A and B are shown apart, each in its own frame.
Chain A
Amino acid sequence: MSSLRGEVAIVGAADTEVGKVPQFGATVLCVEAARRALADAGITKDQIDGLVTCNSMAEPYMYHAEAIAEYLQIFPRYCISVGAGGGTTFSILHHAASAIATGVCDTVLISMADSLRTGLSREQAMTLQSSTGHPQFEIPYGASVPAYYALIARAHMNAYGTTPEQLAAVAVSARQYAALNDNAQMGEIITVDDVLDSRMIADPLHLLDCSLVSDGGAAVILTSADRAGDFPHDPVYVLGAGEGHGHEHISQAQSLTTSAAVESGRRAFEMAGLGPGDVDVAEIYDCFTPVVLIELEDLGFCNKGEAGAFVEAGETSLQGSLPMNTHGGLLSHCHPGNPGSMFALTEAATQLRHSAGDRQVKNAEVALVHAQGGIMSSHATLILGRERQG
């Protein structure tokens, strides 16, 4: 075996309630997501021999995955908590897949959750998240996370003529899907004008250009492709995985308008033996509207500078050429911080299982999921498919 392509499959996937979930703290959300994923896979916890989590901001532990293993009373032979910001979720997936493919473990549970909405005050959540900035050379200047991304948005607008209306179209698209999703935190349809009329947070980003702040957890279960047929649902095979890392702090970025998603996407497509034209549904990180435009360009779905027009033309809707963020995304479904893109993963699994109901992309065969962490800093792309051979 010289590639991970087709070696592992997702055989369990589940979300908790999301949004305002005061009845469950972050630890319980992580355990609950795990519990539901186990039920979805039709197995008991004793069949899990690998565990991946990420630390929680609301209820941190020094060694989070070990704490969750203890809570669940499992005794894994592969156990790690990951930190890569929003890209955390997928950056670990190929590590876990490699562990399975090399026989280090058989069945990995990846469960991530946090309680940013009810587990922390607004100020605590903002301060903790903005600590992604450099402590000596960025944080003193008072940038919030929206402000860091606003720097990127303005640069893209200046370079390519991207308009506030085009940024808003990203949020409108996400909300259209959320309106079809009973589980989404926000369900009311919004217009471009609604986005532009919403409170300005950091020019040019309005409130509705920014992701939600949520409670929630999601989990998946991975096992070898050979065993995937033993589970109740259609397997979702991992066909490609790639990472790209350009910087950590935005003031050190080589480019404000092109990111290491170029590399992560290329690497994932190369492993999968596929290209952007093969993708039926894309779940790409939407912490802020400009991020989506840059990712669409960098992943190869449209030319540099043209993503604004692409989204404005409706190409990311269910009727468009690239249905995107079909659960509602971080903008409208939920965003509990580091675990945020886990919901993109469970949604991709749902789409490829053809069980997305009103949100179903017809004949979805191949999904691309992409996450980024820091401030467009680190990127991870996965290509998933219904067929082991892709």
Chain B
Amino acid sequence: MTDAPVKHFPRPTPETEAYWQGCRKHQLLLQRCQQCSEFQFYPRIVCTKCASQDLEWVNASGQGKIKTFTVVRRPVSEAYAADIPYVVALIQLDEGPTMMSNIVQCDPEALRIGDLVQVLFEDWSEEISIPKFRPL
């Protein structure tokens, strides 16, 4: 018997571990530079603006707006077929950085660039929860 196809799980790396642990606890964490106060995503060992390594984790508001989006009609692989049609979007978080995610609990046809969204978390396993967004 063949196993059902599985979605692509993110594999945390040492410097992203804290981010994914935050997700597991349903908290969106962002790095903020202690030197220049800039928020950044994705997590790195250096500040993207001033190269400082003095970075702290901050509880993000989880709110943002849709920068752009698409409604995927043909799944990237079999594992995503059941979700069709699904929305892939770039979200600009209130703190500044942009992240990719899915928009869920929505009518894909009604979405517009600029719509306000709020993070939620999908539990994929004991270790991994994935941040997704729903329209406010």
Tell whether A and B belong to one assembly: yes
| Chain A residues within 8 Å of B, Cβ to Cβ | 123, 126-127, 130, 134-144, 146-147, 150-155, 158, 199-205, 250-252, 256
* Cβ contact within 8 Å between A147 and B72: yes
List the A side residues contacting B113 at CB < 8 Å. 154-155, 158
Known pairs A141-B88, A154-B69, A202-B71; A126 contacts B10 (CB<8 A) = no
- Quick one: which of B69-102 are within 8 Å of A by CB? 69-78, 80, 83, 86, 88-90, 98-102
- Which 6 pairs between the two chains have the least Cβ-Cβ distance? A150-B70, A144-B76, A251-B100, A136-B10, A142-B80, A203-B71
List the A side residues contacting B8 at CB < 8 Å. 135, 139-140, 142
Known pairs A140-B8, A250-B90; A151 contacts B69 (CB<8 A) = yes
Nearest-CB residue, chain A, relative to B78: A123
B38 CB to nearest A CB, Å: 14
* Cβ contact within 8 Å between A147 and B78: no
List the A side residues contacting B7 at CB < 8 Å. 140, 142
A374 to B13, CA, bound (A): 22
A135 to B130, CA, bound (A): 13
* Cβ contact within 8 Å between A202 and B42: no
A135 to B10, CA, bound (A): 6
**Residue B16 is within 8 A (CB to CB) of chain A in the complex:** yes
**Residue B67 is within 8 A (CB to CB) of chain A in the complex:** yes
* Cβ contact within 8 Å between B70 and A151: yes
List the B side residues contacting A251 at CB < 8 Å. 90, 98-100
List the B side residues contacting A158 at CB < 8 Å. 68, 113
A196 CB to nearest B CB, Å: 14
Candidate in A140, A143, A201 with the most chain B CB atoms within 10 angstroms: A140
A163 CB to nearest B CB, Å: 16
Query: Given A142-B72, A142-B83, 17 more contacts at CB 8 Å?
Result: A136-B13, A136-B16, A137-B42, A140-B130, A142-B8, A142-B102, A143-B88, A144-B75, A147-B70, A151-B90, A154-B113, A155-B67, A158-B113, A201-B73, A202-B73, A202-B88, A250-B100
